[in-house]
Copies of this chain bind each other. A is one copy, B any other.
Amino acid sequence: MTGALLDHIKIYCNLNAEATAGINKWFTASVVKKRTFIVKEGEACHHIYFVAKGCLRMFYLDDKGTEQTIQFALENWWMTDIDAFNKKGTSSFSIQAIEDTVVLGITKNDWDLLLQEQPGLEKYFRIIYERAYAASLFKMRFFRLPKDEMYRHFCTKYPQFIQRIPQKLLASFLGFTPEYLSELRKRKQP
């Protein structure tokens, strides 16, 4: 079940057979049915997850009880509330499968041990976090755009999300009403 993860690591790091076997043992694969939560806001966040197949979303409830979606993770993406994971605190976000999803999870203690045992993986995680940080800088600019322009940029940069994410969740992520998103979609069609 860790094949997808090992393939992803190999894009960035050299892994010999011994290292491959050494990584395998630390991860637990889980099949998460659509709509199931793997992290709940206000509860402990024990794991960081690699998406081997499917799609996760991260969200929180605002003061009015409305779900605010802030991130999606498709195949080969990692997801957790990184602050809660590192500090073993309670999560500020919920994480839910929006398709039937296969995740590979690892606890903070095991993740620390994995990196001690396989220091070559520091490069892999440096690149993972570097990309996540670069995406966050893009978002800082993106979310201040006029709404129609924001949608146009999003379609160009993340076409795979447009196809796979339900319209209601995409609207929540973009800060639109579902009706406004539907209107923008119609306008975009020839």
Contact = CB atoms under 8 A, between A and B. Distances in A.
Interface of A: 60, 62-63, 68, 70-71, 81-83, 86, 92-93, 115, 119-120, 122-123, 125-126, 129-130, 132-134, 136-141, 143-144, 146
Contacts of A140: 70-71, 136, 139
Contact of A92 (B63, B82, B141, B144): B141
19 contacts: A68-B141, A68-B144, A70-B140, A82-B130, A82-B134, A83-B138, A92-B137, A92-B141, A93-B141, A119-B119, A122-B123, A122-B126, A125-B126, A125-B130, A126-B126, A129-B129, A129-B133, A136-B139, A136-B140
Contacts of A146: 63
B81 A137 contact: yes
A120 B126 CA distance: 12
A145 to B, nearest CB: 8
Q: How many copies does the complex hold?
A: 2
A137 B63 contact: no
A141 B60 contact: yes
A136 B138 contact: no
A62 B141 CA distance: 9
A34 B167 CA distance: 47
A189 to B, nearest CB: 25
A176 to B, nearest CB: 14
Contact of A82 (B60, B93, B123, B133): B133
